[in-house]
Chains A and B, each alone.
Chain A
Amino acid sequence: MQVYKAFFKVIQKNRAQILIYLVVFMALALILSGAYNPPQDTDFTKVKVNIAFINDDGDSQLVDGLKTYLGENANLVAIPDDTQKLQDALFFRQVEYILRVPAGFAEDMLNGKEVQLEKTTVPDSTSNIYMDLLINKYLNTVKTYTTYLPGLSQDDLTQYLKKDLVEQSEVTMISNGTHSAYAEKSGYYFNYLSYSLFAILILGVCSVMLVFNDTDLKRRNLCSPIRSASMNMQMVLGNLSFAILTWLVLISASFIMYGSFMFTATGLLLLLNSFVFTLAVLSISYLIGNLVKSRGAMSAIANVFALGTSFISGVFVPQELLGANVLTIASFTPTYWYVKANNEITAAVSFNTDNLSSIFTSMVLVLAFGVAVLGVTLVLIKQKRVEA
């Protein structure tokens, strides 16, 4: 097993570069699992938009009432009244709506004059429409009261408003079974896994192939007493064990973070899907390994491939946010089908023939990619040998 051993010696020599991608992935996985908490959909909860409420008017029951009302239907975020700080908050979506009550508003409103509040929003956004609805509702109710019951005291007015606005309609939530909180999180984990897997396998396999494909070394090897079939067999074994080892290391953190969830149907399907994907990536790495000629080109290609496929296939940005053209291009990469299957696995509450057949179709496509690329590589190798 000299060839097999040599394989891992070369990998050992290149471990620093490979470890970087492992660390990057682990960091991403940890940050994600800490930051993201999917909503639990058992009861209806209204979505609260983050808004900033700035009052340039004096204290009045009317404005207080409005603030309380908005506080119940939106999250009031305290932002200092400074132009740049407000601009920053809106730009980075800390708040999506800034409401400014101008001076003299309460008095003018109660006296029936025409008044307007100033809103600063993300143009055309849904949250903008919703907040408009709420605020206009409040003020129109005030107007109705002041029109029909002139001389109403502010005390009574706020009492009436409170009584009216507490009225709520009933909401029935149809939930189709419970969804584990881990499902969505683990989906992200396995999607991100594709990025590191691509980078690590390309780097590892290429660095070995660069050594073994060196012309002088190759000639020396060919005249060694080891049969070429045995040598090839050991290379195949080396590649396979490297890929499986990488896969094992990459999935290991999922067992620590999600525990027994990984043994449910969802978890096992995710594992199976990632394993199938590993084989396809290995085959692509093998092709690249037979094409690159220098170590510089190797890290360039590893980066371009890992980043490129991840960006267009929905690893970093969800597939539903990508344009149709982008997805069409992406469907020529196995990453697209891998991510698609992952998303379907984690979205499914229960598995039936419909979603299972779709999931397995994706897996078969990924595998087909692997086989096709392997075929191309073998032809290429054959041709090279003939030329040599």
Chain B
Amino acid sequence: MFLFNYRYRLKCIFKDRQLMFWTFMFPILLATLFNLAFANLSSSDNFKKVNVAVVQNEELDQNPAFTQALDGADDLFVVKYTTQDEAAALLSDHDIDGYINFDTDLNLVVNQSGLNQTIIRGFLDDFKQSSSTITTIATQKPSALENGNLEGISSRAEYLKAVSASQSNPDPVVNYFYTLIAMTCLYGGFLGVKEVVAIQADLSDVGARINLAPTNKLTVFLASIMAATTVQLLELLILLAFIIRVLGISFGDQLGYIALTCAVGSLTGVTFGTCIAAIIKKGEGLKIGILIGSTMIMCFLAGMMSANIKYTVMTKAPILGYLNPANLITDSFYALYYYNTHTQFFADILLLCGFTLLFSSVTYFVLRRQKYASL
């Protein structure tokens, strides 16, 4: 009997085209759009050499040290030597970020304040500061200048050693895809709503028919929930494969734990839907409306519209993050991708299991032993 019901619920779900669109096609479409829109987002702050022009004049020719220093910084700048007018034209066309005019003193001309302009300025400051250092040393100890013109100034030592934050790249774009999966999990609630409507005598004709049958309602309902979770998990795994294989978004390499998150997330989503459907007595439209609305708010707080929201919640109101299933799912993926330990991941998964338990008990206590005087 159980398998019979299970099989037929599966058929019912797969035949519901609208349901399949929202729980399956829509997330895939959204993932594609995310990928199209965010593809260049993380590489946009990658360093590209700063384009800079230098005005050629007599002052410049008299200061070979400056030209030398500029040539030495070829890992920072692409330098063009031009006339004053040409430089101004290049600047107004945004072909260069600024031009240097050696006019009694170093002068930088720019038309906006930005990081590239700040770098040019930092370089010029550096040059002036080094001159000041030489002057100081020369006055303190004139003999220093005689042997070899201060080598320390031109030979630069590297004082920094890079230590990576984690085995994975700190790329906030992946968070958008994690929240998308969280959204898909919670959209599993559509399936939950459908199953509750189908089993409640006051909500659908099928429900009335099922309540007449001499079968235990819990058995029937368990079969429905199993069917819903099966579909949800299947959809989720296809979405995951699509995001990882086709779109090339990294989830780290702990596939077992990722699958575990998907399984727990699916259950949370489906029971979330059954819980809403059980509590709210009004029509299906309202149930769906509340499901979409709450999912969207939760996903917003998990950083789906702006990753910074997640960070703000994490630091300013961490409790809000722990009470938000969408954030817990997002955070599980984030922890797997980025953290070196599993403490956070297991905390998230445990809380998700807690939510699943809560949702299913609420559903159970509301649905059981309902009797109708009249339908």
Residues of A with Cβ closer than 8 Å to B? 39, 41, 44-47, 49, 73, 83-84, 86-94, 98, 100, 115-130, 132-137, 139-141, 143-145, 147-149, 160, 163-165, 167-176, 296-297, 300, 303-304, 307-308, 311-312, 316-317, 321-323, 326
Contacts and interface: CB of A to CB of B under 8 A. Distances in A.
B18 interface: yes
Contact of B152 (A144, A300, A308, A311): A144
A323 B170 contact: no
A160 to B, nearest CB: 5
Given A148-B141, A168-B128, 12 more contacts: A87-B165, A115-B159, A132-B160, A133-B119, A135-B159, A140-B156, A143-B157, A144-B153, A169-B128, A296-B18, A307-B30, A316-B37
Nearest to A131: B160
Contact of B107 (A134, A144, A167, A172): A172
A373 B136 CA distance: 75
Given A87-B166, A92-B311, A173 B39 contact: no
Dominant secondary structure of chain B at its interface with chain A: helix
Interface stretch (B192-200, B338-346, B363-371): B338-346
B339 A123 contact: no
A47 B314 CA distance: 27
A98 B38 CA distance: 25
Interface in B15-48: 17-18, 21-22, 26, 29-30, 33-34, 36-41, 44-48
A164 B111 contact: no
Interface of B: 17-18, 21-22, 26, 29-30, 33-34, 36-41, 44-48, 76, 88, 91-92, 105-119, 121-133, 136-137, 140-141, 144, 150, 152-153, 156-166, 169-172, 175, 307-308, 310-311, 314-315, 334, 338-340, 344
Contacts of B163: 100, 118-120
B195 to A, nearest CB: 19
A139 B47 contact: no
Contacts of A176: 92, 111
A172 B108 contact: yes
Nearest to B107: A170
A127 B46 CA distance: 9
A44 B113 contact: yes
B106 A169 contact: yes
Contacts of B119: 126, 129-130, 133
B18 A148 contact: no
Of residues B76, B113, B156, which shows the largest number of chain A Cβ atoms within 10 Å of its Cβ?
B113
Question: Nearest 9 A-B pairs (CB), nearest first?
Answer: A92-B311, A169-B124, A296-B18, A144-B152, A311-B33, A116-B161, A91-B170, A139-B159, A169-B106
Given A92-B172, A126-B116, A149-B137, A171 B108 contact: yes
A47 B110 contact: no
A145 B133 CA distance: 8
Given A91-B170, A92-B172, A321 B41 contact: yes
B159 to A, nearest CB: 4
A163 B310 CA distance: 43
Given A92-B311, A124-B46, A124-B47, A173 B115 contact: no
A115 B159 CA distance: 7
Nearest to A122: B170
Contacts of A120: 162-165
B140 A149 contact: yes
Given A129-B76, A141-B133, A167-B129, A136 B160 contact: yes
Given A91-B170, A127-B45, A121 B113 contact: no
Contacts, number: 241
Contact of B45 (A125, A139, A316): A125
Contact of B118 (A47, A88, A115): A47
Contacts of A41: 111-113
A102 to B, nearest CB: 9
B339 A140 contact: no
Contacts of A100: 163
Of residues B36, B76, B117, B172, which shows the largest number of chain A Cβ atoms within 10 Å of its Cβ?
B36
B30 A127 contact: no
A188 to B, nearest CB: 13
Contact of B159 (A89, A140, A163, A173): A140
A141 B158 contact: no
Contacts of A163: 132, 136
Nearest to A124: B46
B363 to A, nearest CB: 26
A149 B37 contact: no
A144 B150 contact: yes
B150 A94 contact: no
Contact of B38 (A44, A167, A317): A317
Given A47-B118, A86-B165, A92-B307, A169 B125 contact: yes
B36 A126 contact: no
B36 A130 contact: no
Given A91-B338, A164-B132, A169 B105 contact: yes
Contacts of B156: 136, 140
Nearest to A119: B160
A322 B36 contact: yes
A149 B150 CA distance: 11
Nearest to B40: A321
Contacts of B308: 92-93
B172 A91 contact: yes
A322 B170 contact: no
Contacts of A127: 45, 115
Contacts of B131: 167
A88 B314 contact: yes
Contact of A133 (B21, B26, B122, B171): B122
A118 B160 CA distance: 6
Given A92-B310, A136-B156, A300 B170 contact: no
A44 B110 contact: yes
B170 A87 contact: yes
Contacts of A90: 165, 170
B333 to A, nearest CB: 13
A140 B156 CA distance: 7
Nearest to A147: B152
Contacts of A91: 165, 170-172, 175, 311, 334, 338
Given A46-B113, A129-B76, A148-B144, A323 B40 contact: yes
B161 A119 contact: yes
